[in-house]
Amino acid sequence: MKKGLLFGKFMPVHQGHIALIEFAAAQCDHLIVSMNCTPNDPIDPIKRMEWLRALFGHRSNMELVAVLDDFSDDNLPLWEATKRWSDFIKHRFPDIDGFFCSEPYGEPLSQHLGLPCIWFDPERKQVPVSATLIRQHPALYWDFIPAVVKPYFVKKICLYGPESVGKTTLAEQLAQHYKTVFVHEVARDLITSNDLTPDDYIQIGHAQTQAVLKAAASANRLLICDTDLITTELYADHYLNEVPPVLYELEKQVVYDRYFLLNIDVPWVADGLRDLGHRREEMYQRFKTALDQRNIAYIDVSGDWDQRWTTVTGEIDRLLA
């Protein structure tokens, strides 16, 4: 075949799509991969095209295009719906010699177009997955998600609370338990005291944000973080009586799927930087209020270490189900 067409939503692109695209590319001199998009798509079309370009942008025999799907009507019977698709394809891609498909619409669309439909794994035996299943249960279908797409579906966990409540130790243990990575409190690498300037807090904010974004690329389903930008803001407010505005902007760059608020019902341990042992209740309330003000839901974590572990792992297991 000289020129072939393959189209889909790729929401997200997965190993089944990749197998289909490779199958089609091997049978065409030139393959058009058309990504359909609508304003209501749950995954941004720009992000989806980034994934396709990362996977196939280097292929000289492929053309990646995005098209606005303003012609589909899910309420129509399949025959009438594919007639609309056919009209669009004839106008947008008039010189194709055929198309590739693994969906039931292939047969009626072939009749409308008067072009062959080349079938690929219509029963999904080779790659038993769908984009819908991945969106609903990404952790269960993790192995079907390409590496470039996985960071989008990583569940981010924030262990949150004032000093000396066991966040770092718990983060390390959780990362080992779930065979993933964790992001530690980057400020510990940058400071030797709490006598900081606004620029210091800005540096910490940027470093913490970049650490989380970088770690997501290597996380296995789950990313454990033992601090966040709200924490940076709270300590800036406490020690400086001001919060550099850029911290609020950085806060928006990382959205956590679960917050765990660790209570202060464990012993306070000095470590050279901690100096708020006498104000634990006050700081705990400030941390709690910061979440409440943002309408961020959280799981209360209290009790002994075994109780804390049970609380946190139980909630994470539900999140990954």
Q: What is the mean pLDDT of residues 206-210?
A: 97
Same domain, 191 and 127: no
- Condensed to tens digits (0 to 9), the pLDDT of residues 140-179 reads 999 999 999 999 999 999 999 998 899 999 999 999 999 9
Same domain, 296 and 264: yes
272 band by pLDDT with thresholds 50, 70 and 90: low
Same domain, 129 and 216: no
pLDDT of 276 over the 80 cut = no
CATH number at residue 165: 3.40.50.300
Same domain, 131 and 221: no
Q: What is the pLDDT of residue 76?
A: 94
Look up the pTM and report it. Answer: 0.90
Same domain, 181 and 255: yes
Q: What is the mean pLDDT of residues 215-229?
A: 97
Residue 144 lies in a domain: no
Length of the chain equals 321
277 band by pLDDT with thresholds 50, 70 and 90: low
What percentage of the chain has pLDDT greater than the value 70? 98
- Condensed to tens digits (0 to 9), the pLDDT of residues 92-107 reads 999 999 999 999 999 9
What CA–CA distance (Å, rounded) separates 46 from 43? 9
Q: What is the pLDDT of residue 194?
A: 82
Same domain, 130 and 179: no
Instruction: Residue 97: give the domain boundaries.
Output: 3-138
- Hey, CA dihedral for 145, 148, 149, 154, is it positive or negative? positive
What CA–CA distance (Å, rounded) separates 265 from 279? 13
pLDDT of 123 over the 90 cut = no
CATH number at residue 14: 3.40.50.620
What CA–CA distance (Å, rounded) separates 169 from 178? 14
What CA–CA distance (Å, rounded) separates 246 from 280? 27
**Contact 233/248 with Cβ under 8 angstroms?**
yes
Same domain, 133 and 166: no
Residue 308 lies in a domain: yes
How many folded domains does the chain comprise? 2
